[in-house]
């Protein structure tokens, strides 16, 4: 995975001073590496009868939709407010630099669904935990959470103790 790590660049002080942003844009320009990274994210869960993959706006859409294709299952987007038609369920949560809300269409999942949550990165774990809560609001089960990048110094994994967590690349914060 070192070749994939080399395609991820760090942008200092973005989106605000002190943040070391992990930019996956160079990785996205290399299709074979995107495919390999997505495979690495889902491999531990291939035999778990996943019925849906959920990905958070925005970069979770990239890997989430690819993961759903590889697992031959549904992709469910978790969106910012006002982006989904019809009835939605929502969870509000705080970020390291603000607060926000995630929404999902009310009919997106049922109690029979077994979900793999996908995002490009886990930092403090707030978005991932809110996503799990949103999935569970519809009665679905979160089978696991998978991330391409983990900023392990920020302790996000500790917020997800009720879930299996898999990350491909670990970075200090």
Distance CA(52)–CA(117), nearest Å, equals: 9
**9, 35, 46, 96: which is the annotated catalytic residue?**
96
Residues 6+ apart with CB under 8 A from 158: 125
Q: Mark whether 96 is an active-site residue.
A: yes
The SS3 assignment for 148 reads strand
- The tokens 């019925």 sit on which residue? 51
Write out the two tokens for 67: 């993961």
For residue 165, the tally of other CB atoms under 10 A from its CB is: 19
Tell me whether residue 16 is one of the annotated catalytic residues. Answer: no
**Is-contact 119 55, C-beta < 8 A?**
yes
Here the tokens at position 150 are: 């983990």
With both helix axes pointing from N to C terminus, report the angle between 59-71 and 31-42 in degrees, rounded to the nearest 10. 70
List the catalytic residue out of 46, 59, 133, 136.
59
Q: Which residues are catalytic, by number? A: 59, 96
């Amino acid at each position: 995975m070192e070749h994939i790590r080399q395609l991820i660049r760090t942008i200092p002080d973005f989106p605000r001073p002190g943040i070391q942003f992990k930019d996956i844009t160079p990785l996205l320009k290399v299709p074979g590496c995107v495919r390999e990274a997505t495979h690495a994210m889902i491999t531990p869960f291939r035999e778990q009868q996943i019925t849906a993959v959920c990905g958070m706006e925005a970069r979770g859409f990239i890997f989430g939709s690819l993961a759903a294709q590889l697992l031959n299952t549904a992709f469910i987007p978790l969106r910012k407010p006002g982006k989904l038609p019809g009835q939605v369920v929502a969870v509000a949560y705080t970020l390291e630099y603000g607060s926000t809300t995630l929404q999902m269409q009310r009919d997106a999942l049922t109690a029979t669904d077994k979900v793999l949550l996908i995002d490009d990165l886990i930092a403090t774990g707030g978005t991932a935990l809110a996503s799990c809560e949103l999935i569970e609001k519809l009665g679905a089960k979160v089978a696991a959470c998978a991330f391409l990048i983990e900023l392990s110094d920020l302790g996000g994994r500790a917020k997800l103790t009720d879930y299996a967590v898999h990350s491909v690349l670990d970075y200090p914060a």
